[in-house]
Amino acid sequence: MLESYRYVQNENITVYYIGNDMRFVVEVKEEILYAYKELENYFHLIDKGFSIRAIIAMNRREYNYISKMILKLRGNNESKKSQVAITSKNDLLILSPFAYEEESTYTYDEYKLKKVIYSQVVHIFHEFLSLNSEVSSTWIGQGIAMYLSGLWKEGEVKKVINEAIKKDMIPQLNEIQENESLYKIWAWTIVKYIEENYGKETINKIIRNYDVDDIFNILKCSIDDFEVQWKIWLKDENNLS
């Protein structure tokens, strides 16, 4: 299905593209490789690696087609304009930045694209490490991807969080876990809190066991006790810098 595509390969990373999208191949390839090497170390995968195939779709129609026919993603036949990248197993699908103006809510920025790519590589690692491939799309998966990629430092996310803290309107943990619009904003703070207070080894354990063990069992505390301490931590502005 990629017969009309050219590709560039470097180590375990292959990037497929058509025509003018050659313009983005180097930055896509280099960012995937950079993210891979960092995450390989973070998740202790030295000598247990895997390959990643990236595909740059020239427009939204092609993006939706590849999502369905190659990535085998159900329910993504008409992707939202806010979506410019998605993963499945070892595949990373990226909408060409040339299509951003008319077919997305994004404006091309090289730095932001790198962060988006990094977050998607986190999802690939998460799916590879977890016994349940659906886990990377849950609140904890989204939180880990946003935190490790640094996307939490961008846009309106921190502004929304700071406003909620000032107004004493921090949502409950169970609300965050169940509400996609909430966990896309707040889940990374939970991950950051866990890493700083329990260590990155605990993040590794959560990723590998989340589908068979409740996160708060892994942390050896109740959700209520965790929530109290997390909210105290949130109110120290130095912790969100």
84 found inside a domain: yes
The pLDDT score that the predictor gives to residue 212 is 54
Angle, CA 9 vertex, CA 8 and CA 12 arms, to 5°: 150
- Comparing CA positions, the residue from 91, 173, 150 lying closest to residue 124 is 91
The pLDDT score that the predictor gives to residue 135 is 62
Residues 116 and 162 in one domain: no
pTM of the model: 0.93
- Comparing CA positions, the residue from 229, 238, 231 lying closest to residue 171 is 231
DSSP string of 11-40?
Answer: TTEEEEE-GGGHHHHHHHHHHHHHHHHHHH
Residues 10 and 100 in one domain: yes
For residue 53, what are the domain limits? 6-129
In whole angstroms, what is the distance from residue 167 CA to residue 158 CA? 14
For the ranges 72-76, 169-173, 195-199, the lowest mean pLDDT is seen at 72-76
Mean pLDDT of 115-121: 97
**Residue 25, domain CATH:** 1.10.390.10
